[in-house]
Amino acid sequence: DAKTTQPTSMDCAEGRAANLPCNHSTISGNEYVYWYRQIHSQGPQYIIHGLKNNETNEMASLIITEDRKSSTLILPHATLRDTAVYYCIVRAGSYNTDKLIFGTGTRLQVFP
């Protein structure tokens, strides 16, 4: 499984865009990039995923570089409730090996 590298922590002002980077330089062609977040000690929550095209949903946008070696999760208008740990995961697998391996994530603090 490709490994990911994320900054340990980031700050963002409320109402501003939060841009969370992720490096996955060893990603291979069939591997998806997934983002999850974990608020306090709750179970992780799915945010978005993509293969090679940029993606957008009601929560966030995902920008994947053309070489797919890095990506950025964008929360367009961060709120205090977006304070959480954000995990970038590269997911691959065959029929029997769909492992989900988490890194240590980025702790995003949104301040007023």
Partner 1 sequence: DAGITQSPRHKVTETGTPVTLRCHQTENHRYMYWYRQDPGHGLRLIHYSYGVKDTDKGEVSDGYSVSRSKTEDFLLTLESATSSQTSVYFCAISAGRLNTEAFFGQGTRLTVV
| Dihedral angle, C-alpha 105, 64, 62, 54, nearest 10 ° | -160
Question: Closest CB to partner 1 among 30 and 79?
Answer: 30
Minimal distance, residue 108 CB to partner 1, in Å: 14
- Nearest alpha carbon to residue 34 among 99, 79, 109: 99
**Interface ranges with partner 1 (CB under 8 A):** 30, 32, 34, 38, 41-46, 49, 51, 85, 87, 91-93, 95-105
| Contact (CB, 8 A) for 71 and 48 | no
Minimal distance, residue 44 CB to partner 1, in Å: 5
Question: Closest CB to partner 1 among 12 and 35?
Answer: 35
Minimal distance, residue 15 CB to partner 1, in Å: 28
| Contact (CB, 8 A) for 12 and 110 | yes
Of the CA atoms within 13 Å of residue 24, those in its CB half-sphere come to: 35
Minimal distance, residue 43 CB to partner 1, in Å: 3
Question: Closest CB to partner 1 among 14 and 32?
Answer: 32
